[in-house]
Structure 1
Amino acid sequence: MDQIDKIKALQSKVGINADGIVSSKTWLNIHYLLFGSVPYDINISSIIKSIQKKIEVRADGYPWDKTWDALYDLLIVDEKEVLVDAHNEEILEQMTKEVIPFAKELINLAADEGINIRIAKDPKQTVKDKSDSIFTDISTIHSIYNFGLAFDVKILATAINDEAEEPTAKLPLYDKIAKLGESIGLTWTGNLKTVEEATKFILRPAWAVRMKEVDMMKELYRRKKENINLLAIL
């Protein structure tokens, strides 16, 4: 596989047009995938340097072949195996494609801490029909949950695949999960008063960081209607 093919694969991974032409859009979206946030300094050389530091290649701001090779190996070839049980696997298959990598990463990070979690779609989410279209007019937009960019978690007191799986009521564990989620770009919207209120995460798009809520919803609606990646920085 040549470098152009690797670039196209990475562009497809981050949800933008896979034309093999590297622009600022390509670097911004790769940065978002790696860090879960938009860069503070939007100078392209600075963005490339931060990416190079992250993937541990020479950080000179120039996209050498080794940079593309390392990105391809990390994001395409060596995608981390996700530790899931049958329940999580079923839920992941139903989730919005943009949020799946974040849910998978949270499962793995929790497992690394010895915490087993179950992913659950938030009950406020609208059920998709067969055409995968969930809106008929813009007046129905009222929550980010309608776009599948949210999910709940449940911490199990027992091991994955244990027949007697029971949720735990230990709120400090939910506090730890909240911090893990926020470390990868998720927004924790729960609180630690009760277990039922401690479970919620949303994935607010990086492009909407300075937007009013209503404007973000309108843009999400437009992207959903036109089949545009919900998270990509366009």
Structure 2
Amino acid sequence: MGKDKLRKFAEIATFDNVVELDAGKELKGQWAAKHFGNTKPIVLELACGKGEYTVNLAKLFPEKNFIGVDYKGNRIWRGAKTALEEGIDNVGFLRIQIETILEHFEENEIAEIWITFPDPQPQDSREKKRLTNPKFLERYKLILKEDGCMNLKTDNDGFYAYTLEQIALLNLKKFKETTDLYSSDLVDHVLSIKTYYERKYLAVDKNINYVKWSFQQA
């Protein structure tokens, strides 16, 4: 690991808005009360990377709490540092493997989940690693409130098609979908938030896919 990565890993250990690994288990079912000190609903961004979506959503919705989840501490560092520097107190970051999410959140604890530009894991042998694989969807369903929603933004057409296939197989209710977000009428102040990777894709005219769904039956 390079010196810069080591520095960032060391620094996030001192950040009040970052919880790492097993420490998150102690907050299970009590994130709003114990971490944020309030009773606001909680929104997760999974595979949050540098946390652009987490931080910008928090700015737009001060009446909610936001947690960015990722394993790579050197990426989390950027979003966490920005939130601290700008005094955004409804933002937190959790450094864990997403596979362990049920160890850190209680059933019905989460109001909404975002997945923004995750690794599409295109190889067939890595299907189980895709964040919309049925095993992951089962976990999200457990921690989401009954009326909670899922959101996916991705540049990867194959991963988007795979996700739609899982939604269809489970007969889940879709609210919005498009294979070309910025040519659609869906773009608003929320969907126009752009991550580092999204800006790169848009610079080469790559279409952006988006779908919003719930675990209610269609």
TM over 0.5: no
**Under a length normalisation based on structure 2, what TM-score does the superposition of the two structures give?**
0.28
Q: Which of the two has greater strand per residue?
A: 2
Q: Which of the two has greater helix per residue?
A: 1
**Under a length normalisation based on structure 1, what TM-score does the superposition of the two structures give?**
0.26
